Chains A and B, each alone.
Chain A
Amino acid sequence: MAVTASPVVGFDPRALRARFPILGRQVHGHPLVYLDNAATTQKPDTVLAALASYYTTSNANVHRGVHTLAEEATALYERCRARVAGFVNAPDERGVVIVRNATEAINLVARSWGATLAHGDEVLLSEMEHHSNLVPWIMLARERGVTLRHVPITADGRLDMGAFALLLSPRTRIVSLTAMSNVLGTINPIAEIAAAAHRVGAVMVVDGAQSVPHMPVDFQALGADFLAFSAHKMYGPTGVGFLVAKPELLERMEPVAGGGEMIREVRLDSATWNDIPHKFEAGTPNIADAAAFPAALDLLDEVGMPAVRAHERDLVGYALERLRSLGWLQIHGPAEADARGGLVSFVDPEIHPHDLAQVLDTRGIAVRAGHHCAQPLMRRLDVAATARASFGIYNDRDDVDALVDGLAAARNYFGLANK
């Protein structure tokens, strides 16, 4: 499926924008300023073309036919697996399970690896986790009497590493943490944490939903055992996500869903499992979206993940500086741009985030307002909600300027002084 991409000249976010058709639209008469990339990113024309091309030329079910289309569809689906393995430096393609999203990947670990835990064993999480990395463990705790522990955060929104050292113990069987907070932006020291987890015999689960799309991530260098992320947050289609794992761990795990594709031999009352990773992929998978995803990885490779990170680091630094200069915002998360990924959460103490986002929307600016699926963190920060601007490869400083102007306009609209 030859997907031809027009070469990006250097790395000019404005030029990249031309490759994302949706960014050409207007919202309420204004050009769209899309600053909700942590929720989901927009899709380049190459991904859209790959999706159409899959259905136009190669649609068939995978792993179950000798005809040409079935072979092509299987090759495309498996190509996604191979590309993902290379993208995050997985030890082996067999360690890449294709699922629906990061949430499903974490649930798979919690259900399957979690089944090896017993009453009194501990799972170590943190106060800054997304519900996706809290609720599967709460379910496990209910089922198996496992104890959940949470690393607190410091006043500037980082993991309290002193507390982490105290919470980690030989009872800790699983450490599961986000590599980058979707609210605070904090980038966590995962390699250091994984090494400590291994010293007590725990496995390290990394929620990479926000890190894999925005910085170079090397599964092996991190020392992770499991890494979860979603294609839709990295310029790919919705409905595809990945659990990258050490193959030897997957070998020891039981599947959590049974059906077609995941079996080797089935009798009326017994069955044996297929090899990894297929034993975790019951039923017809999301072939089309998996087939289209490599086009998004091609774009990220073309730009280069170090360049993506450098660009977003620059943008978040600029945004922090401009937002601070307004003088009336509470800004959450670490003060230094180096410690954070490309997003900023903030609160105007006199305008509820919903109202703020509503005013921004009338100016074509899309930001997220709410609890960002992190209610425990909201409680910890003592806010009901925050507004969040999150950046992607097509954003630039003009977008930050538009946001800042919009925040000032909101105060005018609500009759508040721009101190």
Chain B
Amino acid sequence: MVDRPDVALDDLYREVVMDHHRRPRGRAPLGRVDATAHGFNPVCGDEVVIALALDGDRVTGVQVQGRGCAICTASGSMMAEMIPGHTAAEAEATAEAFRAVMHGAPAPAGAELGDLEALEGVRKFAVRVKCAMLPWVTLNDALKAWRGGSTEATSTTEAQEAER
């Protein structure tokens, strides 16, 4: 019998997570948009649309829209708060560090996860990991498109997780 007696909702919905969920940051439109991506989780139908403003290779603004669960919304909100001011490469490193943590690995040395640490409990809920990752796989796609000289991309949690 696969019971999970240790499963506690509070592990999933920590206070910090709930705060981001209730008051998501980064909803406001950007003055200029240099890259966008549309992310979709085919398992549940959740959608995230990310718009980025960049100055050189530095992200100056992030807008996160879409409809997702509390975990997806909180993760996107944290991203909107963390990423501006960082370079594209730093943003990708954060996405990678967060992915590692979501898959049960220790955070790479020197990684600054900030509020994202509050999402650590998600990894006990296997199906919810994709909810937390959706904004980040979408961010990766937006940056990939931007590097490739295009402004738009579409991604799914399936596609990027499958590439691993």
A residues contacting B by CB (< 8 A) are 25-29, 351-355, 358-359, 362, 369-371, 375, 378, 384-385, 413-415
A392 to chain B, nearest CB (A): 21
A371 surroundings in chain B (CB, below 8 A): 44-45
Structural contact, A354 and B3, CB atoms closer than 8 A? no
The chain A residue with its CB closest to the CB of B10 is: A413
Bound complex: CA A358 to CA B68 (Å):
14
Q: Is B4 interfacial (CB-CB < 8 Å)?
A: yes
A175 to chain B, nearest CB (A): 27
The chain A residue with its CB closest to the CB of B67 is: A384
Q: How many residues of B are counted as interface, with CB atoms below 8 angstroms from the partner's CB atoms?
A: 24
Bound complex: CA A351 to CA B22 (Å):
11
Structural contact, A370 and B44, CB atoms closer than 8 A? yes
Q: Which 10 A-B pairs give the minimum distances between C-beta atoms?
A: A352-B69, A371-B45, A354-B69, A384-B67, A370-B44, A384-B45, A385-B45, A355-B70, A355-B69, A362-B9
A29 surroundings in chain B (CB, below 8 A): 5
B residues contacting A by CB (< 8 A) are 1, 3-5, 7, 9, 12-13, 18, 22, 43-47, 67-71, 73, 125, 128, 131
Bound complex: CA A215 to CA B9 (Å):
38
Count A-B pairs with CB separation below 8 Å.
58
The chain B residue with its CB closest to the CB of A372 is: B45
Bound complex: CA A118 to CA B125 (Å):
48
A414 to chain B, nearest CB (A): 8
A383 to chain B, nearest CB (A): 8
Q: A25-B1, A352-B69, A354-B128 are in contact. Are A370 and B9 (CB under 8 A)?
A: no
Q: Which of A352, A353, A358 contacts B9 (CB 8 A)?
A: A358
Structural contact, B46 and A385, CB atoms closer than 8 A? yes
Bound complex: CA A362 to CA B5 (Å):
10
A358 surroundings in chain B (CB, below 8 A): 9, 12, 125, 128
The chain A residue with its CB closest to the CB of B68 is: A352
Interface SS of A by simple majority: mixed
Bound complex: CA A322 to CA B125 (Å):
30
Bound complex: CA A195 to CA B45 (Å):
36
Structural contact, B5 and A28, CB atoms closer than 8 A? yes
B13 surroundings in chain A (CB, below 8 A): 355, 413-414
Bound complex: CA A110 to CA B71 (Å):
40
A378 surroundings in chain B (CB, below 8 A): 45
Using A25-B1, A358-B125 as known contacts, list a sample of 10 further A-B pairs with CB atoms less than 8 Å apart, ordered by residue number in A.
A352-B70, A352-B73, A355-B71, A358-B12, A358-B128, A371-B44, A371-B45, A384-B46, A385-B45, A414-B13
Bound complex: CA A371 to CA B22 (Å):
23
Structural contact, B45 and A28, CB atoms closer than 8 A? no
Q: Which of B5, B9, B73 contacts A413 (CB 8 A)?
A: B9
The chain B residue with its CB closest to the CB of A22 is: B1
Bound complex: CA A359 to CA B70 (Å):
12
B61 to chain A, nearest CB (A): 25
A364 to chain B, nearest CB (A): 11
Structural contact, B9 and A384, CB atoms closer than 8 A? no
Bound complex: CA A417 to CA B128 (Å):
26
Structural contact, B44 and A369, CB atoms closer than 8 A? yes
Bound complex: CA A415 to CA B18 (Å):
10
A26 surroundings in chain B (CB, below 8 A): 3
Structural contact, A359 and B9, CB atoms closer than 8 A? yes
Q: Which residue among B7, B45, B70 has the maximum number of chain A CB atoms within 10 Å of its CB?
A: B45
Bound complex: CA A358 to CA B128 (Å):
10
A415 surroundings in chain B (CB, below 8 A): 18, 22
Structural contact, A384 and B7, CB atoms closer than 8 A? no
B6 to chain A, nearest CB (A): 10
B24 to chain A, nearest CB (A): 12
Structural contact, B4 and A28, CB atoms closer than 8 A? yes
B43 surroundings in chain A (CB, below 8 A): 370
B71 surroundings in chain A (CB, below 8 A): 354-355
The chain A residue with its CB closest to the CB of B70 is: A355
Bound complex: CA A382 to CA B19 (Å):
26
A370 surroundings in chain B (CB, below 8 A): 43-45
Bound complex: CA A25 to CA B45 (Å):
31
B3 surroundings in chain A (CB, below 8 A): 26-28
Bound complex: CA A273 to CA B153 (Å):
49
Bound complex: CA A28 to CA B6 (Å):
8
The chain A residue with its CB closest to the CB of B127 is: A354
Bound complex: CA A371 to CA B69 (Å):
13
Q: Which residue among A28, A355, A359 has the maximum number of chain B CB atoms within 10 Å of its CB?
A: A355
Q: A25-B1, A352-B70 are in contact. Are A385 and B9 (CB under 8 A)?
A: no
The chain A residue with its CB closest to the CB of B22 is: A415
Bound complex: CA A370 to CA B130 (Å):
13
